[in-house]
Amino acid sequence: MTYQFTIVVPVYNEEENLLRVEKELLAYTKIATKATKILFVNDGSKDKSQSIIETICNRNDMFSFIKFKENRGLSAAIKAGFDYTETELVGYIDSDLQTAPEDFNLLLKHIGENDLVTGVRANRKDSFVKNMSSKIANGIRRSFTHDGMDDTGCPLKVIKTDFAKRIPMFKGLHRFLPAMILLQNGKIKQVPVQHFPRVAGEAKFGVWNRLIGPLMDCFAYLWMKKKYINYQVSKQG
């Protein structure tokens, strides 16, 4: 089969969720509007995640994985997923499945005329503290980037792979993917998607890295924006 779309699934200590991830993503591949494969990126998990991932991949041809030697963080996992993607489109979803894989079809409807389409979590099912800290962090980030996005933390995105591979990653950059596409003179769009409470495992981000981390990352983004190199080749011989 010729695949058109790769879904990157970062994994860090998610043994309780992975069989559900397999079930949900396998079901999605049967209704996907693009021929879809799944790439697990094991970010140095210390539980049984790797053995479960290998079992899943051995019994499903459309599933594959890469494994880090040690934990490097969500941005590194996403970057590695982009680097190892060979299809024309790449997306990503968190392994906690607080967003629905079938909503990828909503994003794929708009990717033709855009270079990144991101979900916006409607009716978020998180705690009050988590919702408020994310809202504040999004406001801070938006004031720095002027990207017009309401929810860059939404773990449901589709990107044209050639744009994704040109994103220069640093820690925390997963919060700035729309802004990084704008730096490439690309087009971005946000689409409302479903959101669900976490049913297993533990959240990897707390109030500290939802507020202080994004603020520090904003200054890193401004530095990089000033130094960013963007070019287009008009002719080659």
Per-residue pLDDT tens digits for 65-117: 999 999 999 999 999 999 999 999 999 999 999 999 999 999 999 999 999 99
The alpha carbon torsion through 98, 212, 47, 44 (nearest 10 deg) reads: 110
User: How much is the pLDDT for 78?
Assistant: 95
pLDDT at residue 130 is higher than 60 = no
Look over the chain and give the mean of its residue pLDDT values, rounded to a whole number: 86
5-227 has CATH 3.90.550.10 classification: yes
Q: Which amino acid is at 128?
A: F
Locate the DSSP E strands across 30-181.
36-42, 63-67, 89-93, 116-121, 156-160
Separation in Å, CA 160 to CA 34, 85, 110? 13, 11, 11
Give dist(CA 79, CA 173) in Å, integer.
9
User: How much is the pLDDT for 136?
Assistant: 59
- Where are the domains positioned within the chain? 5-227
pTM of the predicted model, to two decimals?
0.82
pLDDT at residue 173 is higher than 90 = no
pLDDT at residue 127 is higher than 80 = no
Q: Which amino acid is at 229?
A: I
The dihedral sign for the CA sequence 181, 82, 215, 151: positive
User: How much is the pLDDT for 200?
Assistant: 64
Q: Which residue has the tokens 């971005």?
A: 188
User: How much is the pLDDT for 229?
Assistant: 75
pLDDT digits 0-9 by tens, 42-61: 999 999 999 999 999 999 99
Half-sphere exposure of residue 34: CA atoms within 13 angstroms, side-chain side: 25
